[in-house]
Amino acid sequence: MSKVELNETLRVISERHAVKKYETGFQMPEEDLQTILKAASEAPSAWNLQHWRFLVIESEADKQKLLPVAYNQIQTAESSLTIAVLGDLEANRNTVIFDQAVEAGLLKSEIRDAMVGQINGAYQSPQAARDSAIMNASLAAQNIMLAAKSLGYDTCPMVGFSPEKLIQEFNIPDRFLPVMLITVGKAKEPARPSGRLPLSETVVRGGF
Ligand SMILES: Cc1cc2nc3c(=O)[nH]c(=O)nc-3n(C[C@H](O)[C@H](O)[C@H](O)COP(=O)(O)O)c2cc1C
């Protein structure tokens, strides 16, 4: 067995697939949910602005609300829960994270002020704010899927839903942009096999 085959991280990455059939009625222990959400929040983000919120949809009533929002994709009703990954369109408001670093003596206040100025400048562009929300929240989404898999759960990332209806049904404030839904639960059936393009088609070395 090669070193690569023994590596737990690579095994989890290669075994994660989009599972659509779940054991219904399986209630995820709170501790596992917290572990998954913590892994999500450990994703990297530009300027460490942590451009995400995680809306956990878990009660039967909320699942029934979500089902038509997700065009009746049954995994939203049958999985243990769905995490709606939201991107923060006003992540420049999260610069409070730098204040903690200044107070801890880890960052000079002049540097904090310069960074806050740069960030607020960048957030003058709604397109840049939206791109950042999607980019950074997507990294958190991948952490959710890998953390869930490593705990013995399966997931399905989904953009097949109406963002407008999700916002309306779950009272999501204007500040947040729905990026992706992720169902999480115990697989009843494995994912459908999915191939990948060979690296010879997807990798370019040294320029096109
Ligand atoms: C951003 C994104 C959106 C997706 N949306 C849906 C969806 O709405 N419904 C669904 O059944 N699968 C959805 N998928 C799952 C993909 O079809 C699946 O990841 C892809 O076919 C590769 O299969 P695998 O993840 O099992 O390897 C989505 C995946 C991603 C990354």
Domain ranges, residue 23:
17-89+130-190
Residue 173 placed within a domain: yes
Question: Helix, strand, or coil here: 162?
Answer: coil
**Full strand arrangement of the beta sheet holding 176-185:** 52-57, 81-88, 176-185, 154-158
Residue 146 placed within a domain: yes
Q: How far is the CA of 197 from the centre of ligand 1 (A)?
A: 15
Residue 21: CA atoms inside 13 Å, Cβ hemisphere, count?
A: 5
Residue 6 placed within a domain: no
Residue 68 placed within a domain: yes
137 lines ligand 1 (CB under 6 A): no
Residue 40 placed within a domain: yes
Residue 26 placed within a domain: yes
Q: Give the atom of ligand 1 at the shortest distance from the alpha carbon of 20.
A: 11
42-92 pLDDT per residue, tens:
999 999 999 999 999 999 999 999 999 999 999 999 999 999 999 999 999
Q: How far is the CA of 44 from the centre of ligand 1 (A)?
A: 22
103-150 pLDDT per residue, tens:
999 999 999 999 999 999 999 999 999 999 999 999 999 999 999 999
151-205 pLDDT per residue, tens:
999 999 999 999 999 999 999 999 999 999 999 999 999 999 999 999 999 999 9
Domain total for the chain? 1
Residue nearest (by alpha carbon) to ligand 1 atom 30: 157
Assign residue 88 a region: left if phi > 0, alpha if psi is -120 to 50, beta otherwise?
beta
Residue 166 placed within a domain: yes
* Number of Cβ atoms within 10 Å of the Cβ of 36: 27
The CATH number for 81's domain is 3.40.109.10
Q: How far is the CA of 110 from the centre of ligand 1 (A)?
A: 44
97 lines ligand 1 (CB under 6 A): no
134 lines ligand 1 (CB under 6 A): no
Residue 142 placed within a domain: yes
